[in-house]
Structure 1
């Protein structure tokens, strides 16, 4: 077991960009989760001005794209803990929850105004907490119109009157001596004999309904000990930078351009993983 774990650790370190591990014992899944770098990074650019054909609305157009190396990962230990995250050109996120319930996460993105927004959040059992640099927009103070102010004052006056009235106890209207004898007489004149015994004799318990045909039934393997998994993938993402491609590409078929682009993507991925990996953060220049 130790040799197997060491071998899997070396495999994870050597090919960290693309990992898919299933049916892991909780302890081993937790080790993969612990080793995963959760630093927030945007997807790095790996190529620029790549010709492609894309549908924009209902129109097929020749475009130029910048290609980024996106990433996503997800792991679960099978006993309540998990980790997941992703990185694309302008958004990065990570979140982890331990089996004991402690949850922590963070994300960052570029908003429409070009500002980088960063958020950290956590739940340690004492409620949800968050810190961020989201711009705070305070409402402007606007004076009420005279008729609106008069309506508010009248409502507030009525509310105070009702609150003061409700603060005083209300005497029960039937608590006087004149109602005591009448209540006791009504109780003594009620006959309960045999009222419940007859119902008990006629009671028949409903049979347990048979299981429905569509009801889920776990298999023998699913009834076994808990198991976890872990995966980590890199994949190319294109962002359109221009809607005008080369004249040479406009004369070619969609299949030819797709095959060439796919070969270019594979080549870029191999070069990126072999030389730089996916560790460099993409810096946004505005």
Structure 2
């Protein structure tokens, strides 16, 4: 029961403090309006700024409520789409910042920064402009430890490299086009002669009578095949079996009763929200028999934090109990 109550209190506090932060929610935008909003956004990578606040908080660590000290940051998220395939999204939280944008043409670019466990700032940029994915970064390169190959591995590598160079040499020479005036002429060796002879024999197999060239027979067959797709004037029955394109060919035809989606629309939203990082655990908040007093703790912290907001010491809300 107590956990349910605290969850409710945290939810109320969440919506209350969300109203103190900046928020933008725009729906059903025209593509041009959505694109203008996207292009106007500051895509500079920034970490969530720290808020000046000394309000104590009560957090559940495991199953017990503890008094803790926190550093409070004003995080941010934003996301927009133009309805035509273009989009932008990003976020700023403590020690991590990211954004990514894609144009309707398909061009994509993005970047993110973060602080790793050693305290080093890692910076990554990536893009794809139609010729593959690319990335630049300052991530430390960890080279694998050099291990001497065994004789068996060395022999296998040499065999592979020898075959690789042989194939590369063979593929470096262009292959001439093997047909001249419809006759296969590539190769002067036995293999080429054998293929040429086979081709000649195949051509002869099309001859039906002396004085009739095989090419005429093939040409006649091709003409007959073309005629089967041509729509000749006259009686439509003469075109039975001919290809007749449909007026809706290649078009999406909605089913009966299917609702139309209408023209493309875009959207954009952005909002700030407070988030905390625990810097010190000051022990259990209250004895078990006095856990009901958490309501009073919350109210005191809430009032104190709102006073700070009024004095200009803080620019966002805080989850005081969760």
TM-score, normalised to structure 2's length?
0.57
How many residue pairs get aligned? The number is 253
Q: Deviations over 1:197-235 (max 9, x none)?
A: xxx9799x9xx9x9779x97434xx24xx3322111112
8 Å CA contact 2:88, 2:100 repeated in 1:
yes
Q: Using the alignment, how far apart are the partners of 2:286 and 2:280 within structure 1?
A: 16
Per the TM alignment, residue 34 of structure 1 is displaced from its structure 2 partner at its CA by 3.4
Alignment of 1:1-286 (within 5 A): 17-46=22-51, 47=53, 50-54=57-61, 59-63=62-66, 64=68, 66=70, 67-125=72-130, 127-160=132-165, 171-172=191-192, 174-175=194-195, 177=197, 179=198, 183=202, 186-187=205-206, 217-219=259-261, 222-223=262-263, 226-242=264-280, 245-248=283-286, 251-253=289-291, 256=294, 260=298, 264=302, 267=305, 271=309, 277=315
On the 8 A contact 2:82/2:265 being kept in 1, the answer is: yes
| Matched-pair contact (CA < 8 Å) for 1:51–1:245 | no
**Cα separation, 1, equivalents of 2:295 and 2:82:** 42
Higher Cα Rg, which structure: 2
CA contact (8 A) 1:65 1:238 kept: no
CA–CA distance in 2 between the matches of 1:22 and 1:259? 39
Could you say if the C-alpha distance between residues 173 and 245 of structure 1 is closer, same or farther in structure 2, counting changes exceeding 3 Å? farther
TM-score by length of 1: 0.63
Q: Quote the offset at 1:117 in angstroms.
A: 0.6
> CA separation of 1:131/1:252 partners in 2, compared to 1, >3 Å: closer, same or farther?
farther
In structure 1, the residue corresponding to 2:159 is in which secondary structure? helix
Q: Greater shift after overlay, 114-123 or 23-32? A: 23-32
Residues 80, 180 of structure 1: alpha-carbon distance in 2 compared, 3 angstrom cutoff: closer
CA distance in 2 between counterparts of 1:273 and 1:118 reads: 37
- Unaligned 5+ segments in structure 1 are 1-14, 279-286
Distance in 1, Cα, partners of 2:199 & 2:82: 68
Backbone CA RMSD of aligned residues:
4.8
Question: 1:20-52: per-residue Cα shift (whole Å, max 9, x none)?
Answer: 111223343334333333222222333465221
Distance 2:160 2:27 in 1: 64
Q: Name structure 2 gaps, 5 residues minimum.
A: 1-19, 176-186, 209-220, 226-238, 317-322
